[in-house]
Amino acid sequence: VYNSVCMAPNIYEVAHAAGVSVTTVSHALSGRGRVAPATRERVLRIAEQVGYAANPHAQRLVSGRSRTLAIQIAGFGVAGSTEFLPDAAFFLDLLNAASARAAERGYELILASYDLDPRRAQSLAIDGAVVVDPSGDEVLLRELPDRGIPVVTTSRPTIGSMRFPWVDNDQGGMAVRAFEHFVRMGYRRPAVIATARRRSYVADIIDAYVEWSRRRGTEPLVVELPEPPSEAAAGRAARRLLALAEPPDAFYATYDRLALGVLRETRRMGLDAPRDLGIASAVDGEVLRWVEPSITAADIKPGLLGAGAISNLVDIVEGRPVSASVIVPSRLVVRGSTRRGRDAGGV
């Protein structure tokens, strides 16, 4: 029953060395059963001495839990995909906060690659998963519910009928706030430059924009860029819109790179932001603070999204009641690209 030397010691060896049963060792180390203080002391000392550490695999087999969660981010972990990753700071923030929150709650975090195949999804030793910005056809979304493993999403899947608890910003409301900011600054006609509606936050923005335009009685101007989106494509879209009979004089882009593309291309056309047109982004990013002019953007608090999703997931895993949906606050950060007129001094 006892191991020989040289391998990592198991609980039997500790029990043997301490002259007690494995039950006692288990209880002494976990603090769960009743053990005489003196005995516990001795067991702890011996365990320390022989460098005992419980085999995590055995513990997991018996408990059925791994205290491990997975997090999956669109486009992440796919060879050669770096350039398709949207704003780096956003995801790093989200990931960092998720990782910190998981650690706080006593869970490990697995970075699931986005092209995970079904077999690997099945062999994932996890208690739950967060899927960031799902489209809806992710393998995890299909496989995990079958195994009884809870999933929480950040924003909502747009295709498929499964419903998961989610945490999200109010991107529609934020878009409207941005449009109203445009109007306050004297712009008359904002357009939207978007990625595919596959991401729910994009759909939210477009829907809010169409509704807002309807209320004002103006024709909505939306460009949905084909995948993968690029700065250049955003620039071309802006150029096309500006060639219209009734061109827009402001652009709301669904993420930072697109806003950047618009800025570059319009500048190339000899237009000046904020004077000739306004530019804002639905997702903030470091570059937006550094370009000239700096670009107005929504701070959607990626850290709150990441930490919130993990918290909710842990609550579900541990059987606590949670609300199925959580809205995380966000804030419009007004910068140079939309600051003009009498308010030019600052907001």
Q: Which option in a copy of itself, DNA, none does residue 315 bind, with CB closer than 5 to 8 A by kind?
A: none
Q: Does 122 bind DNA (CB under 7 A)?
A: no
Stretch that binds a copy of itself, among 13-21, 140-148, 228-236, 323-331 (CB under 8 A): 140-148
Chain residues 8-47 in contact with DNA, contact rule CB under 7 A:
10-12, 19-24, 26-27, 29-30, 32-36, 38-40
Least distance in Å: CB of 105 to a copy of itself?
11
Q: Minimum distance between the CB of residue 150 and DNA, rounded to whole angstroms?
A: 18
8 Å CB contact between 203 and 311: no
Contacts of 347 (CB under 8 A, 6+ apart): 334, 339
In this structure, what token pair is assigned to residue 91? 């995801």
Is 271 a binding residue for DNA by CB under 7 A? The answer is no
Window of 48-56, 79-87, 214-222, 323-331 that interacts with DNA by CB under 7 A: 48-56
Q: Is 120 in the site for DNA (CB under 7 A)?
A: no
Tell me the CA distances in angstroms from 303 to 42, 105, 242, 307, one per residue in order: 45, 16, 36, 6
E strand intervals along the chain: 68-73, 108-112, 128-132, 151-154, 166-169, 190-194, 222-224, 250-253, 278-281, 296-299, 325-328, 331-333
CB of 93 to DNA, least distance (A): 36
Sort residue 136 into left (φ over 0), alpha (ψ -120 to 50) or beta: left
3-state SS assignment for residue 278: strand
Beta strands in 170-257 (DSSP E): 190-194, 222-224, 250-253
Enumerate binding residues for a copy of itself (CB under 8 A).
8, 51, 53-61, 64, 66, 68, 76-82, 85, 88-89, 91-93, 95-97, 99-104, 106, 108-113, 115-116, 120, 122-125, 146-148, 286-287, 290-292, 303
Enumerate binding residues for DNA (CB under 7 A).
1, 3, 7, 10-12, 19-24, 26-27, 29-30, 32-36, 38-40, 52, 54-55, 58-59, 61-64
